[in-house]
Structure 1
Amino acid sequence: MTFSIVARDKSTGYYGIAVASRFFAAGAVVPHLAGRVGAIATQALVSPVYGTEGLTLLRAGVSAERVIDSVVTPDHGSHSRQIHLIDAKGRAAAFTGDKCIDWCGHLIEDNVTVAGNMLAGPQVLDAAMETWLINSNLPLEERLLTAMEAAEAAGGDKRGRQSAALKIVHEEDYPWLDIRADDHGAPLQELRRLHAVAKERYLHFAELMPTRRNIHGLLDRTEIDQKIADLEAERKKAGRTSASFATPPV
């Protein structure tokens, strides 16, 4: 019922997951990530436990392949599930149960894996992987969205469209970006809009947030405020309207 991509940016070590589905709020149950630990997507007859227990194992240094063995082997329903993940060393692994609904399958390359079920055909994952591989110049979030859009253009979920999500972690357990379209006729297009909104203000303020290395965060917001003001002035000068639906101040 879903197609997704799990990836690690080799240059930064950051992890990201993007998912789309003809299923409500796929972003609530499919992606599981933690900075410096790894990223897991669980789908088909989804088991969020694969994600939560999988992250616990990754934190303990267990490899991606062994995580799959550990969560799949004791599960009597694993024949109808998918899991794919990347561990702290960038090793990728994937599992597709033999009772997942066609078309279903997965692909693995260095620091990236794509998987899906109930798809229009294998071309969906082929398009996602090829697009990911040829766009190494893009930032992680743009690269993930572009790969997902290629997969959608190749047929996507054969039942239609309903939800999509994009989640990225840097070095922290909390996400640097976490956007979702839970019930939408064009969910990937909505993710593009939300990402554009995030770039206007949110992602700049994210630079102020406390981290493991600096529990205080950045307390002087002068530079960030100026950066946001400059970007807004540039946008208005170019005649571009904000991507946000937010109401103006009263």
Structure 2
Amino acid sequence: MTFSIVGRCAETGQLGIAISSSSIAVGARCPWLRAGVGAVSSQNITLPALGPQILDGLAAGAAPAQALDQALTRNGYSQYRQVAVVDAQGRTAVFSGSQALGTHNALAGEQCVAAGNLLANTGVIEAMVSAFEHSEGCLAARLLSALQAGQAAGGEAGTVHSAALSVVDDLTWPIVDLRVDWAEHQPIDELGKLWRAYQPQLQDYLIRALDPTQAPSYGVPGDE
């Protein structure tokens, strides 16, 4: 049903998630991020509440494994959940319940953790961690590369229909929040197109938010 990569950039401290699923609008339910705190992917038979609760635990000083365990215990039905966590220090935690769907796997790497269920094979997750660890560029590009590597390694056993890419830096809002809520085919490829279109404009949108007096032209009719 879903495979994801959660990661941190050691140079910038940015946190991010790239995720894809056979379900509609995976970006609306599964990725949860908070600048300076952590990133959580809550998937499989998804309970969105786990994301904010784990982030609250991290913000209160809990280690990733402790925050994850507290949230799972609080809500019950942990056997149906799959959750991946990276905190602001790059520490990781991951959980796959006994009722995780189909072929499933989860693996922590260097400042990253990947997890998936209903996979074509367990090597999908290993390919994602390896791609993240060995890719270069900004965090968003590395996360996308890892997601593409997972797809190339087999991805889900069935057809995926949605994908999302989210990154937080030191602001209260995501600096990247791109979603393909439904595509009949290749949502990860569509997400890549969105990133290539958005990347050259990313800094412009930050300038517009933080210092409108220095904002670049919008490039639309009537903009002077």
TM bracket, shorter-chain basis: over 0.9
Distance 2:155 2:43 in 1: 15
**Residues 146 and 207 of structure 1, relative CA distance in 2, 3 Å threshold:** same
Change (3 A) 1:140 1:96: same
Per-residue CA distance 1:84-128 (angstroms, 9 max, x = gap): 111122110000001111211200022100000010011110111
Q: Deviations over 1:45-73 (max 9, x none)?
A: 00101001111111112110101110112
Distance (whole Å) between structure 2 residues aligned to residue 55 and residue 181 of structure 1: 25
TM-score by length of structure 2 reads 0.93
Amino acid of the residue matched to residue 105 of structure 1? N
Q: Partner residue of 1:4?
A: 4
Between the aligned partners of 1:104 and 1:116, the Cα distance in structure 2 is 5
* Matched letter for residue 159 of structure 2: G
% identical equivalent positions:
33
Question: Equivalent residue for 2:49?
Answer: 49
Partner SS state of residue 189, structure 1:
helix
Residue 38 (structure 1) aligns with: 38
Aligned counterparts of 1:66 and 1:56: Cα–Cα separation in 2: 12
| Structure 1 runs (4+) greater than 6 angstroms displaced | none
Q: Residue 176 of structure 1 aligns with which residue?
A: 175
Give 1:204 shift.
2.6
Q: Secondary structure at the match of 1:121?
A: coil
SS class of match (1:48): coil
Distance 2:98 2:208 in 1: 44
2:88 and 2:134 map into 1 onto residues whose CA distance is 24
Distance 2:212 2:22 in 1: 43
Letter in 2 for 1:51: G
CA contact (8 A) 2:15 2:88 kept: no
* 2:13 counterpart residue number: 13
Residue 64 of structure 1 aligns with which residue? 64
Among candidates 215, 221, 228, match of residue 214 of structure 2 = 221
Q: Quick one: which amino acid aligns to residue 158 of structure 1? A: A
Residues 249 and 141 of structure 1: is their aligned pair in 2 closer, same or farther, counting only changes over 3 Å? Answer: same
- TM-score with structure 1 setting the length: 0.84
Residue by residue over 1:150-178, the C-alpha shift from the partner in whole angstroms, topping out at 9 and shown as x without a partner, is: 10011111121100000000012310010
Question: Judging changes above 3 Å, is the alpha-carbon distance between structure 1 residues 172 and 204 closer, same or farther for their aligned structure 2 residues?
Answer: closer
Cα distance, 1:206 vs. partner?
2.5
**1-side partners of 2:172 and 2:200: how far apart?**
24
1:1-250 alignment, distance < 5 Å: 1-135=1-135, 137-184=136-183, 185-201=185-201, 203-210=202-209, 217-221=210-214, 224-225=216-217, 249=221
Q: Is the contact between residue 2 and residue 22 of structure 1 (CA under 8 Å) also seen in structure 2?
A: yes
- Amino acid of the residue matched to residue 31 of structure 2? P
Contact 1:2 1:21 in 2 (8 A): yes
Taking only aligned residues, the RMSD between alpha carbons, in angstroms, comes to 1.8
Distance 2:109 2:103 in 1: 20
